[in-house]
Amino acid sequence: MCATPEDRLDSCAVCGWRLHDDPVLGGPTAADLAAAEAALRTAEHAWDLRAAALAAPDPQDHPRLAAVIRGGPPREDATARPGAGLPDGLPAPAGHGTPLDELRRGRAELTFVECAPDGLHLTRATFTEAGIPVLDADSTPWRTVVPALDADAVLRRFQLAGGNGTLPPVDRHAFDDAVREWLAPGLPSAPGTAAVLLRPAPGWELLRRAADLVARDHAVRLELPGDGAAPGNPGEGPARRAAVDRVRRILRTLPLLTDHTLLLARADRDTGAVRPHSHVLFPAGSRLAPGETATAEVTVYGGATGADPLHLPVLAGTPAPDGNGAPAVTVHRLRVAALEPARLTFVLRGPGEVDLVAPASERQPERSSVDVPRLLSGLPRRMVRPPRLDLLFTVELSGADAAETEERLAFVRDVAALLARRDHTGSAVRVGAVGHYDHTDYESTWAREGVLLRAPVTARPPAGLSRALADWAPAPRRQDTVSSLEDALHAVAALSAGHPRTAEVCRVLLIVGRRPPAPSRQQGVVPACPHGTDWRAALDRLRADGFRVLARADPATGPPPSDAAGRQARHYAAETWRALGVDGVLRPGTDSARDAVRALDPPWRHEGPECPIAFAAPLM
């Protein structure tokens, strides 16, 4: 009856059953025998219930398990705690770090032995020079090791928990020999290696027996509590992955032997030469408590075009100039807009485990699969500083309502704000604007003065334009054919007068409005400019001064006009806007302020290939 009769103890070390009583005179009576028989049957039933509670959360869900329990299935008023009547398991240490650190020191490999409900596992942890563990597991299901165990997964776990029931008994000595035979070839014997035993949870009696055998027969240097045992019947592949994950969670408490760095690029502000730059995310010596993580934030910047997703390699250490000496632990891919900042958040889960959590990587992160020397060989030789950008707007301030005008002003403010984000020094971009209304009615004595509103060129920073625009007052338009845009074009030309065209300055005019400029002479129903101003002459002057001219005109709405006058006015507007937008057209409602910024000349160009990694500092 007793699993350990050779110990000659008063009580069984496994189940707690008292093995003998005080001597008495005479033989046992029938009542004594009946009482002993009832106590034994009760103990058998309780023992099997305990094993069943470990094997499955609810034995009533498994009719086959309930059928083998001695004394029948559990009663509704019966309770069976998985660890009832059993000694406590190995206490969990305050942290795995200290004993594991001592064992890890000076060793390049550790072998973790685990006797789990799903099988036997040998997980080898080989450490790189940077201290990154590389895990590989050899696992086998219990049915392969001990064929005497039941083929049904639930009944097999019942047996591993020590349950006897009505099943054929498992020979304990044969069990020991089978475990010993499977483990012997895989346990470490070479110098520089050591074995770590992961103890099973309390109550799994055959698993405890197998663990005791490992501790007794092999040079186990450290014992740690396992993660417990959850019911289930995973296949061999999932069981092996689960074993590897359990070991990985333990190794995450080891300290980092090397800095975990993010590989970036940096452009010299004087020469433009591009060099690699290592940003330390998590310094050497950092360590985590069980279940803990650490985070690090860093701001990176996009390259000249932002066309392709950038590599974000996290390395173990700082690479040499040729890219060697720091293996990659993970590589993310992320699209960062040209010259725009991106705030990244990384999380450390353990040595060699760094994930990008915000923003999400565009592609599944790759583990140790980037050729760092080849990546660095693809850096551009030099980033060439662009010419300064002088951007001027004309904005039509007359509209059908205030919302129409406000949409145009908001667009101008957004473009200026985006340019301000790029121009960190306030010296690369200058922005100005000219506002215009309807023409002055010179035949009327009540004509308003100042129908043309001009803002001086606003420099350093472009965001200052928003404050200037706040003082501009929209007005309702009196007719829907032409505006005073031709006067605004001449005002822009006057603003640029005295600034000769040079290669160091890129000039752009962006026209924002609804109605085209008036012709110098009336064309049918299209009225002429009261001053006789020729918008084509102003446009030629601007282009001669080196301006690129882009147009953003509200599209014509409604069905085509049915009358000849309406068709003539719409034809004039279409032809005029086509001439004004010869260098580029932006469509309201389709092209955003960011699209407008992209339509400008690229602010930087590079000699050599496009930079494949993000920049550590803004180019401007």
C-alpha closest to that of 312 among 332, 336, 328, 329: 332
CA distance 118 to 140: 8
What is the helix (H) or strand (E) element at residue 260, kind and residue range? strand 260-267
Amino acid 74: pLDDT: 65
Amino acid 454: pLDDT: 43
Strands (DSSP E) found in 141-229:
193-199, 220-225
Amino acid 272: pLDDT: 87
Query: Would you give the distance in Å from CA 17 to the centre of its chain?
Result: 56
Determine the 3-state secondary structure of 11 from DSSP. Answer: strand
What would the two tokens of residue 143 be? 């049915």
Question: According to the 3-state scheme, what is the secondary structure of 546-606?
Answer: CEEEEEEECCCCCCCCCCHHHHHHHHHHHHHHHHHCCCCECCCCCCCHHHHHHHCCCCCEE
CA distance 211 to 115: 6
Longest dimension (CA), the chain: 141
C-alpha closest to that of 226 among 348, 323, 121, 337: 121
Give every CB contact of residue 180 below 8 A, 6+ residues apart in sequence: 213, 217
In eight-state DSSP terms, residue 615 is B
> What single string gives the DSSP state of each residue in 271-328?
T-BEEEEEEEEE-TT----TT--EEEEEEEE--SS--SPEEEEEEES---TTS-S--E
CA distance 159 to 142: 11
**Can you give the pTM of this predicted structure?**
0.69
Q: CA 234, 239, 243: angle at the middle one, nearest 5?
A: 145
Bridge partners, residue 116, by sequence: 119
Amino acid 24: pLDDT: 66
Contact at 8 Å (CB) between 134 and 125?
yes
> What single string gives the DSSP state of each residue in 429-470?
EEEEEEEE-SPP-TT-TTPPS--EEEEEEEES-TTHHHHHHT
Q: CA 405, 530, 480: angle at the middle one, nearest 5?
A: 35
Interhelix angle 153-160/30-55, nearest 10 degrees? 120
Determine the 3-state secondary structure of 46 from DSSP. Answer: helix
Residues of the chain predicted below pLDDT 70: 1-8, 13-17, 20-25, 57-62, 74-98, 189-190, 227-237, 362-369, 424-426, 440-464, 498-500, 601-603, 620
